[in-house]
Structure 1
Amino acid sequence: MEREQIEAAVLEMVHKAKAAARVIAAMPAALKNQILIDIGEDLKARQHFIRAENDLDRVAAEQKGLSTAMLNRLEITEQGITDMVQGLREVAALEDPVGEISEMRRRPSGITVGRMRVPLGVILMIYESRPNVTIDSAALCLKAGNAVILRGGSEALHSNLALAGIIQEVLTKHGVDPAVVQVLGFTDREGIDFLLQQEEYIDLVIPRGGEGLIRAVTEKSRIPVLKHYKGVCHAFIDEDADLDMAMRIVVNGKVQRPGVCNALEGLLVHKKTADSFLPEATQALKKEGVRLLGCSRSCQLSNLIEPAAESDWGTEFLDLILVVKVVADMDEAMAYIDRYGSRHTETIVTRSYERSQRFLREVDASAVMVNASTRFNDGGQFGLGAEIGISTTKLHAYGPMGLKELTTRKFIVFGAGEVRG
């Protein structure tokens, strides 16, 4: 497409999204829930069509030489459709946050001031590979009363257009503007770059993918971006830790799903615990295929640990690799986390209430845990029902983003003719 055509198409999309956002913001919860249920029913009924469109993407991806891992993420299986349907039902069952009123207070002037939860407006989602993100994102944005523009990876274009088309058909059947959910239907990079300049029409950008994608979006956007660049998560094993508990937490954090953002990437061990903990812990990790890279002291305590290079500290491996460091005390552990962490997830294993509380207060991360695996930093595990991503920035959300994090609050005022003197 020519640049002028791309810009015209983008402007048409954002104008439609802005208008649709006013419609969805005022939609009753019952109607939103029914739309989500009906989308699920249509996904089941049209799964052969969906998978045929997905096959077009997969064949093209194979011809381009995409990796096996990418091809697996791209594939929509029968179970994948079942999971999408279940996800839609779970979102429909969540309490609608829109319109919630709180903090009502009578002021000396006579007015009553409170806060009402309202949608953000228009959200731009930019993501890679997994077509199921199209359904997850659309469902959460719709339930939270937002219009959404979806820009998935070029490798999943047929799949994403098929899924969005089904959503739009259901919206139309219910008499709702289908522009509530739109997919960018072309892959030209100029399109996304131009979208990121539309601050008048788009209220928030949420990128989901690797660090390269998120940094590129952040650098180009004139719109606020909710992001996390990477997940460099640590476990600190304190001097009085229950070592059996620590072993379970460390092995689970590293091994259960090493390729995700809440997997453990660094192990910090108090010097008083290291002699008794590290030899057994490294054996348990080695049995699971984990490569261990450590400081000079940790290498002395276990011959299963290789010397770490300077570049290994603070690395998000997303693989069965773990850095290990023996620290003098909790102050050194927290200083290390402050330097090398990514504000994602940090955990302490300790019997000390005092030190656990200090760790909770002083460590800066979207989730700080005591005696639990970092793998729990997840919207579903936290009871949010579902999430659209994990934010490691503090404005306006910190941690997993569920329905409430896709809304904001405005002040509301009730009066009886009061005027300000």
Structure 2
Amino acid sequence: MEPLTKVTELAYALDTFYFLLSGALVMWMAAGFAMLEAGLVRAKNTTEILTKNIALFAIACTMYMLMGYNIMYPGDGFAGGLIPGFDLSFMFGGDHSAEKVLASNGETYYSGMADFFFQVVFVATAMSIVSGAVAERMKLWAFLLFAVVMTGFIYPVQGYWKWGGGFLEELGFNDFAGSGVVHLCGASAALAGVLLLGARKGKYGKDGSINAIPGANMPLATLGTFILWLGWFGFNGGSELKVSDIGEANAVAAVFVNTNMAAAGGLVMALITARILFGKADLTMTLNGALAGLVAITAEPLTPVPLLATLIGAVGGLIVVFAIITLDKLRIDDPVGAISVHGIVGMWGLLAVPITNAEASIGAQLIGLGTILGWVFVTSFITWLIIKLIMGIRVSEEEEWEGVDIGECGLEAYPEFVGAKGSAT
């Protein structure tokens, strides 16, 4: 066996470094979700939402190491790619030797450890989507228990079906960076939880009225959106997997540009749509428009030209405004709009792939969409229901009125602004 050449060693090192850097950008999206959600909830619920976001990241990392990664990338599966295998070798170090790289005939071009790091921050992203949708009325420990099941089992199984070489991959289902595998997955789990949880007190009147419950900190929400926008370059750009030759470098550049343009298109369209519908430049809709554009392009950020990427994002920005309005009319209470942004627009992103990718078929996209939605919603609903029966998932009315910060964490995020116990809104 010939030793690695200098060129091969350099390419391996460069692709590994790029993968790790991309993973670090995606990890920073956890901060984006935390800031976005902290800004869009009321002051009395801020500490708890921050606790959820940082705790879920640690749980996701642990469970994905123990179970998730071993399910998602087992090497072999059963029943035609429907049932994943289970390989524990990574947890005990695995084989990352130069000999293994050479034996792969060029198929291994970055460190296996880098692959795990990049994948684990994706599963944390999916779980972060759930956090905002169930905010302000869910028990902290019920949420964290669900995170164990979600990141250790529910997410990895459907991830295997596409990215681990399972039946959706064989079918020709296209999802470049996770409009379905990550975003629709997270939104489906969130929807199941919200349906069992119910709406926040005072959100919907008996007369059918819908009462707005403003967030406490719009600067934080805006900062969170900018952080997510930045992190998305690692999310989509890193999913190209390589950067060490001219073709791959050009592809990464195209993915970056298209990701950015889709976000811009989504934001502008949501801003205009909100102005037409409400007569005001609604900031929350604007922020969700940018995120919707990012979700929409995530399924295929490589094949569109920049103009089409902008339009795909713009459609996402249009959809998200009407989706948020529609869910409210259906009395499905989602404080941050996560189900609309990541779920409804995630579907659009998957269905938009054949517009620019000639290898994709609408049939395969529909099957992939339905499979992810069905699997995650049903398994999540069962998990939430079991947790509800065992320990309950909703705080008491008194705790909800006082704020879950006091009831769950015993600590207020903004104590200097509270005149009397429980008076923060």
The answer to whether TM tops 0.5 is no
Higher relative contact order (CA 8 A, sep 6+): 2
User: Which has the greater radius of gyration?
Assistant: 1
TM-score interval (norm. to shorter)? under 0.3
TM-score, length-scaled by structure 2? 0.24
